[in-house]
Homo-oligomer: A and B are copies of this chain.
């Protein structure tokens, strides 16, 4: 699948599922299982089997063998290649609160193509420190920093009321993609990528399922 470069044919939902496949497949690496079937993947990840087959077909040329399924090592390799794990994008983070610290300390990003190279804040108690080996600079130096580096992704972990101005500053500083963890919608000019991370999205699903359980137990 080395020459496969048709990202527009793969939906955002498929892309979103790839890390789950990868995480699950990797969990099988130290077992004696060499092959895995679409129904098993679907069952383990609570997905639809047809969806799993489509996803695999979209990003890998591996063919499932009858009664065996897909070779796990090949699937892992193809998903990693598709996600672009080898080609790291540099990112910076703005807002060194609890969530910002959690993201700075998170070890899993580089495996998925993101290298956070610096953080920014205005709080004198954190400016000048390092968090998980990443330097924290004053927000006033953000634009200059970006001009001298090739940071492409800006991670916003500031409070909601500061998110839009932070976003504007990042775009002025030549950042091409915004990963927004603040619970607000951001206005950005055409051509800028925005990915909103709304942590309560999953909560709505949990609550609905709990309500269903409660409902099914009522007479």
Contacts and interface: CB of A to CB of B under 8 A. Distances in A.
A204 B18 contact: yes
A126 interface: no
A9 B213 CA distance: 15
A34 interface: no
Contact of A16 (B4, B15, B194, B205): B205
A75 interface: no
A16 B199 CA distance: 10
Interface stretch (A101-109, A117-125, A133-141): A101-109
Nearest to A180: B202
A198 B108 CA distance: 10
Contacts of A17: 1, 201
A181 B212 CA distance: 23
Contacts of A20: 1, 185, 196, 198, 201
Contacts of A64: none
Interface string A14-56: 0111111001100100000000000000001111100100000
Given A185-B27, A198-B23, A203-B114, A6 B193 contact: no
Contact of A102 (B15, B44, B99, B207): B99
* Copies held by the complex: 2
Given A13-B13, A19-B198, A202-B16, A2 B212 contact: no
Contacts of A153: 206, 210
Chain A interface residue bracket vs B = 35 or more
Contacts of A48: 3-4
Nearest to A213: B176
B179 A114 contact: no
B208 A19 contact: no
A130 interface: no
A6 B212 contact: yes
A165 interface: no
Closest 4 CB pairs of A and B: A98-B102, A99-B102, A112-B200, A16-B201
